[in-house]
Structure 1
Amino acid sequence: MSDNWIKGLKRNLPTKNCVVCQKPFQYRKKWKEVWSEVKYCSQKCKANSKKKIG
C-alpha cells in the first residue's frame, strides 16, 4: 500500500477540541472503546486541568 492510501484514511478520523488548550486532536486506535469520554489531547493537559481546579 502506498503512503497516499494511509494519508487518506487519517483524513477521515473524528476530531475533538481539548478542553484545556482548545487545540484539535484526532481519534487514536487506543481510544476506540472510550472515545466519547476523551477530553484531553495529552497527559500534560490532563495534569494542567487538575492544577486549575485544585
Structure 2
Amino acid sequence: MPAQPPDKTCASCGRRIEWRKKWARSWDEVKYCGSACRSRKVRPVDEQLSETILSLLAARAAGATICPSEAARAVAAGSEPDPEAWRDLMEPARRAARRLVDSGEVEITQGGKVVDPSTAKGPIRVRRVR
C-alpha cells in the first residue's frame, strides 16, 4: 500500500483536506475540500476579512487576541447600513482566520490554548503567532 501524501489545506475554508482514494492520481491538483468550497472560492470580501484580522491584531499588544466577530463587524460597518449584517460575515471571518493559520500568520485559540483550526468548534480567538 502506497504511503499517504502530505496534508493539504483547502484554499477556500482553510480546513485540512482529507485524502481520498479517488484523488490518488490528481492529488497535486486538488485545491478544495469539496464542491461547496470549489464553487465559493475566495471572494473579495474574504480577502477584506483577512486584511481586517491582520490590521486589528497589529493595533493590539503582542499577545492580545481578537474575536472573528470584530473583523466581521468592521467589514460590515463599511459596506452595509444594516446593523446586523455582520452576522452573515461570521463564517467567512472564521474561514479567513483558518486561511491565515495555514499561511503561518496567526493562531486560533480556545481557552487560551492553541487548537487545530480544522476541528475547532464553538467560540474561537485569533492571535499573532508567538
TM-score (norm 2): 0.28
CA distance in 2, matches of 1:16, 1:24: 6
Q: Does 1:30 align with 2:31?
A: no
Question: Separation in 1 of the partners of 2:36 and 2:18?
Answer: 16
Structure 1 runs (4+) greater than 6 angstroms displaced: none
Identity of aligned residues (%): 37
Does 1 or 2 have the higher relative contact order (CA < 8 Å, sep 6+)? 1
CA distance in 1, matches of 2:24, 2:16: 17
Alignment counterpart, residue 46 of structure 1, candidates 32, 38, 43: 38
Shift of 1:40: 0.1
* Structure with the larger helix share: 1
Per the TM alignment, residue 15 of structure 1 is displaced from its structure 2 partner at its CA by 1.9
Unaligned stretches of 5+ in structure 1?
A: 1-11
Query: What is the CA–CA distance in structure 1 between the aligned matches of 2:40 and 2:17, rounded to whole Å?
Result: 17
